[in-house]
Amino acid sequence: MTSENTVKTLLILGASGDLTGRLLLPGLARLVAATRAGDLKLVGAGSDDWTAAQWAKRVHDSFSAAATSADARGKAALAAMEKDTSYHGLDVTAEGALAGLIGGLEAPVAVYFALPPHVSQKACEILDPAQLPPGTRLVLEKPFGSGTVSARELNRTLAGLVPEDHIHRVDHFLGKATVLNILGLRFANRFLEPVWNREHIEKVEIIFDEDLALEGRARYYDGAGALRDMIQSHLLHIMALLAIDAPATIGERDLRDAISTVLRASSITAPYKKSTRRARYGAGSIGGREVPDYTAEEGVDPSRNTETLAEVQVGIDTWRWKGVPFILRSGKALGVKRKEAVVTFRPVPHLPDGFQGVDAPNQLRIGFGPDTLKLDVDVNGPGDIFSLDRATLLAELNASELLPYGEVLEGVISGDPLLSVRGDTAEQCWRIVEPVLAAWARDSVPLEKYDAGSTGPADWPTAVGG
């Protein structure tokens, strides 16, 4: 995979941060252990006055799990990266500091901004394109801006520095394997396409319910909430993958064009009391663990009315989808983990007289992490063959040997922005949710309450068993 585009140095800014330690370095380790990172060099940087030994220890600790299961070549590749890594203390918002560091590294360099969003923005604003070596890639984390206007401004800043296909806006939620599993399912099977439209599909639900509560992340989450954190970015992308027309190729241009086309046609319409719902968890217990009321969590400002569970109904105005509700839901501190897309088909036009039992609509369930596929079909029941019964066909889809962040980094290193969010799409995602955020800020939609460990409000369309 080596070409002149292949990144030679990965520079992680925010080396002492949570993302770097918990997700980036372990993801990189699996990629290196699979000998899929070439002769990449790792450089850490941050405002902390760390010694080289402190950074080396952080890298070593984060690599240890991957090293244990790696083969001899993988172990050697990990050891080589550990031996060669360096740390640089700097303030990335100080004039010339970051450009100076990048200029001294072996090019092409991928600059990973694992920094607070406002710090990343400031750092980019003061970079001078003339100081960036050819091939430089900029890797930005979510949230990308805080609304359409700020996302557009950030896009403009980045476009002044490097070409669009050298900008990686990370959405690690869907690893490459999951994206390709959805595309393979949809476009390598002839039987699905003729029914994949408003004539045959009644609704599509995309649900990501977690049993994790706030887990000490109030600083970020209390200013974001479930709609911004999950629906605005990740779930809208899954929706787009489920709704796109077949692209000619699965190259980044065709696929990202198709995703953008769907999102441009998508909106959440008023009245928002009907098309959206929000709720916040109260005290409860999850798997024997006591969880305090959200407002009692450290760092939470109750007056913000931050929702920990959100549900929105998106419409896609195209011939294929007009009138089909796409219901996106995500929440924290729920008693049942649900991570799936559920496609519900319309009922048959006429069930032949003589059958008994319930003729329930077919449902196709695509599970995320582990990736699974379930198809609920009606079959003739055991014993009484005139009575209908339900059967579920189940398949476990192939998993990737990499962690999602390993897949993200592989795209960055090899110069493939397939998994990155394109600039126009990042703006569209904000455009879709902004009217809802405004309606919620006006308190037009009540903030409901659910107990931690429960399944959430029972009267929502996506309620368990609903």
- Confirm whether residue 332 is marked as ligand binding: yes
Residue positions annotated with a catalytic role: 234
The rounded Cα 253 to chain-centroid distance in angstroms is 20
Please give the full DSSP string across 380-443, using - where no structure is assigned. Answer: EPSS-TTBEEEEEEEEEPPPPSS-HHHHHHHHHHHT-GGGSPPHHHHHHHHHHHHHHHHHHHTT
> If we measure between CA atoms, which residue out of 276, 280, 277 comes closest to residue 222?
280
Q: How far is the CB of 221 from ligand NDP (least distance, A)?
A: 10
Q: How far is the CB of 104 from ligand NDP (least distance, A)?
A: 17
Residues 184-243 binding ligand NDP (CB under 6 A) are 220
- With H, G, I as helix, E, B as strand and everything else as coil, classify residue 168: strand
User: What spatial distance separates the first Cα and last Cα of the chain, rounded to whole Å?
Assistant: 48
Residues 65-94 binding ligand NDP (CB under 6 A) are 91-93
Of the two residues 58 and 278, which places its CB atom closer to ligand NDP in the complex? 58
- Confirm whether residue 262 is marked as ligand binding: no
Of the two residues 117 and 282, which places its CB atom closer to ligand NDP in the complex? 117
In the list 67, 79, 119, 250, the residue contacting ligand NDP (rule: CB under 6 A) is 119
Q: How far is the CB of 92 from ligand NDP (least distance, A)?
A: 4
- Confirm whether residue 427 is marked as ligand binding: no
Q: How far is the CB of 49 from ligand NDP (least distance, A)?
A: 8
- With H, G, I as helix, E, B as strand and everything else as coil, classify residue 184: helix
Q: How far is the CB of 118 from ligand NDP (least distance, A)?
A: 9
Distance CA 40, CA 80 (A): 10
By CB atoms closer than 10 A (0-12, 13-18, 19+), residue 402 is buried
Of the two residues 221 and 460, which places its CB atom closer to ligand NDP in the complex? 221
Task: Decide: is 17 part of the binding site for ligand NDP (CB under 6 A).
Answer: yes
- With H, G, I as helix, E, B as strand and everything else as coil, classify residue 319: coil
Angle between the 25-33 and 52-69 helix axes, to the nearest 10 degrees? 50
Of the two residues 220 and 355, which places its CB atom closer to ligand NDP in the complex? 220
- Alpha-carbon distances, residue 141 vs 14, 93, 169, 387, 393 (angstroms): 12, 17, 6, 53, 38
x/- site string to ligand NDP, residues 130 to 169, per CB under 6 A? -----------xx---------------------------
In the list 48, 153, 252, 448, the residue contacting ligand NDP (rule: CB under 6 A) is 48
- Confirm whether residue 92 is marked as ligand binding: yes
Distance CA 207, CA 336 (A): 11
Task: Decide: is 46 part of the binding site for ligand NDP (CB under 6 A).
Answer: yes
354 near 328, Cβ under 8 Å?
Answer: no
In the list 11, 114, 204, 239, the residue contacting ligand NDP (rule: CB under 6 A) is 114
Of the two residues 54 and 380, which places its CB atom closer to ligand NDP in the complex? 54
Task: Decide: is 404 part of the binding site for ligand NDP (CB under 6 A).
Answer: no
> If we measure between CA atoms, which residue out of 97, 141, 109 comes closest to residue 43?
109
Angle between the 252-264 and 236-243 helix axes, to the nearest 10 degrees? 100
Contact stretch for ligand NDP (CB under 6 A) within 1-9, 116-124, 204-212, 269-277: 116-124
Question: Which residues carry a binding-site annotation for NADP(+)?
Answer: 47, 91-92, 142
Interacting residues toward ligand NDP by CB under 6 A: 13-19, 46-48, 91-93, 114-117, 119, 141-142, 220
